[in-house]
Amino acid sequence: MQIALISHDKKKPEMIEFAKKNEKILSDFRLVATGTTGTRIMENTNLKIKLFKSGPLGGDQQIGALIPEGKIDMIIFFRDPLTAQPHEPDISALLRLCDVYKIPLATNESTATYLLKGLELDEITQR
């Protein structure tokens, strides 16, 4: 299973804390991330993450391109709903792809925690 991690600038500290708190379960999966988000997470954890470009430079689109190929299974995207994003069309396209291909998408920490707990329970059940 491959999980994408993305966060807007004002949400990066929250994403880093989330990754630190959930490092054990996240380490069980292949991780990809937009450039700055992934770099900051790796600086603060022992997680290994494949990096794409920064979101505004096309990273969101790179991750989105993997969805129709079946190469992304879940996205955790901590969005900043109070700040206009210059690449908003890219973000909208990514969210639309999640809906079209039924990719679980968490846009905040509460939802992301529930998705990871579901994966954790599924892992325990499969043992």
90-110 per-position pLDDT tens digit: 888 999 999 999 999 999 999
Share of residues in the chain with pLDDT > 90 (%)? 78
Q: Are 116 and 25 in contact (CB under 8 A)?
A: yes
Which residue of the set 60, 80, 99, 122 is catalytic?
60
Query: DSSP letters of 33-59?
Result: E-HHHHHHHHHHSS---EE---GGGTH
Q: Is the pLDDT of residue 14 over 60?
A: yes
CATH of the domain at 44: 3.40.50.1380
The count of structural domains within the chain is 1
Pick out the residues of the known binding site for substrate.
8, 12, 34-37, 54-55, 87
pLDDT of residue 125: 52
Q: Is the pLDDT of residue 3 over 90?
A: yes
Range of the domain at 121: 2-126
Query: What CA–CA distance (Å, rounded) separates 38 from 49?
Result: 6
